[in-house]
Every structure is written in structure tokens, then in C-alpha cells.
């Protein structure tokens, strides 16, 4: 199969480079990333940016730090790409970095709250979007307020399973832990959530109505 070719371009520094074309396989992309080929990082960002965005939003919730978090994931990925042996696992490897980075953010926030008890304006809840359906947006807000009280590991498992709808195997792969550990974390997180939701006017009824709660 012939690969798309790119025209050489001159950079602002006067160097002539051949930009990396976007239509190549993950294997070619990983190879290009490893030799720091110009444009390869951009292709990675465009190809998997939405995937990373989805994962960090699921774990953290809608949050003003999401754009910076996305960029941090890609910065880490480019730094560590030499450690990626199996190029076909690029997407799930990036997902792992995304989840790890989101979890680190959550832990840092918890640490700041616990040890400093400091008023952190950047962590104030984001405003609801004007025109949002009131019930759904309120339930979403309450869900993440409840998740804010969870240990980070349990929150990640819960968010991937229920907010994202991932299967057990996918969670195992992305979190890099055994299925038994994932199941235990999910069970604890589920119990916490149900307990908290029972006292929440927005969630109580819906959780009680759920007929097939917790099937994994």
C-alpha cells in the first residue's frame, strides 16, 4: 500500500522539513513519534484527542481544567512513547495515561483540601450550561458531588464503568490492575453511591427505580 506523501515546507527558522502525513497507521505513527518526527505529535492529538477528552471528562467531570488536562496527557504520552512496544495498543495506552493523569489531579485536589483546608477558587463547581434540561444537569452535578467524596481509585473505576459504560475487561486493561481488584473497587464504590444517592432528592428515586443495578 502506498503511503501518502507530503510536500517539504520551510519552517520559521529556515529549516526544510517534511510534515508527517495524517493518514498513516498507528504503527507508523508510533515509529514517527519515537524519532520525534515533526508533525507526528499533531497527528496523535488529532487522532485521539476526542478519546482522551471523553475519558478525562468521565473521571473528573465537566471542569475548567479539562483542556489543560488533555494537553498534559499528550505531553506525557510523547515523553513516554519509547516505552510503548505494541503499537496496536496505542489507543488503550493513551487511555491509561489519560486515566492516570485524571486520577493524579483528583488526588492532588484531595490532598490540598485535606492538609490545607484552603479555599481554592479554581475548584468551584462550574456553572450549569444555560438552557440545560434542569433535571439531567442537576442529577449530573449531584453525581459528581457524590463522586468527589470517593477515594480516587474507586471513583475512577466507577466513572469508567457507569459514566462511560465500559466493560470489565476494558477497565482492567486501562487501569492496569486485576479483574478481582476492579470488581472489589466497583462493589465498594457502588455501595457508597447508592448510600449517598438515597439521601439525595435528585437521585434517590432514579436509583431506587433501577431494575438492573450493578450487573457486571
Distance between CA atoms of 75 and 94, rounded to whole angstroms?
A: 11
> Is residue 143 at the binding interface for another protein, with CB under 8 A as the rule?
yes
Q: Which of 24, 164, 173, 183 binds another protein (CB under 8 A)?
A: 164
Site membership for another protein, residue 178 (CB under 8 A)? no
Cα 105 → chain centroid: 11
Rounded Cα distance, 104 and 26, in Å:
27
Binding mask 97-136 for another protein (x = CB under 8 A): -------xx--x---x----xxx-x--xx-xxxx-xxxxx
Q: Is 215 in the site for another protein (CB under 8 A)?
A: yes
Strand-pairing partners, residue 17, are: 9
The span from the CA of 10 to the CA of 16, in Å, is 4
**List 67, 176, 181, 198, residue binding another protein (CB under 8 A):** 67
Q: How far is the CB of 2 from another protein (least distance, A)?
A: 29
Does 68 participate in binding another protein (rule CB under 8 A)? yes
C-beta of residue 112 within 8 angstroms of C-beta of residue 148: no
DSSP string, 84-122: ---GGGHHHHHHHHHHHHHHHHHHHHHHIIIII----GG
- For binding to another protein (CB under 8 A), which residues are involved? 45, 49-50, 53-54, 57-58, 61-62, 65-72, 74-75, 104-105, 108, 112, 117-119, 121, 124-125, 127-130, 132-143, 161-165, 199, 201-203, 205-207, 209-210, 212-213, 215
Amino acid at each position: 500500500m502506498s503511503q501518502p506523501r507530503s510536500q517539504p515546507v520551510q519552517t520559521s527558522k529556515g529549516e526544510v522539513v517534511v510534515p508527517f502525513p495524517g493518514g498513516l497507521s498507528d504503527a507508523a505513527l508510533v515509529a514517527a513519534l519515537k524519532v520525534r518526527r515533526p508533525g507526528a505529535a499533531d497527528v496523535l492529538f488529532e487522532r485521539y484527542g476526542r478519546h482522551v477528552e471523553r475519558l478525562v471528562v468521565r473521571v473528573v467531570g465537566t471542569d475548567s481544567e479539562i483542556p489543560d488536562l488533555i494537553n498534559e496527557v499528550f505531553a506525557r504520552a510523547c515523553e513516554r512513547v519509547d516505552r510503548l512496544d505494541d503499537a496496536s495498543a496505542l489507543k488503550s495506552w493513551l487511555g491509561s495515561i489519560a486515566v492516570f493523569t485524571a486520577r493524579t489531579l483528583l488526588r492532588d485536589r484531595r490532598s490540598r483540601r485535606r492538609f490545607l483546608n484552603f479555599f481554592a477558587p479554581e475548584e468551584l463547581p462550574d456553572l450549569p450550561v444555560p438552557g440545560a434540561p434542569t433535571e439531567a444537569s442537576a442529577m449530573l452535578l449531584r453525581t459528581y458531588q457524590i463522586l468527589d467524596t470517593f477515594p480516587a481509585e474507586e471513583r475512577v473505576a466507577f466513572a469508567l464503568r457507569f459514566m462511560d459504560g465500559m466493560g470489565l475487561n476494558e477497565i482492567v486493561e486501562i487501569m492496569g490492575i486485576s479483574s478481582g481488584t476492579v470488581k472489589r473497587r466497583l462493589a465498594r464504590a457502588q455501595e457508597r453511591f447508592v448510600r449517598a444517592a438515597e439521601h439525595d432528592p435528585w437521585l434517590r428515586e432514579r436509583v431506587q427505580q433501577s431494575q438492573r443495578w450493578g450487573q457486571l
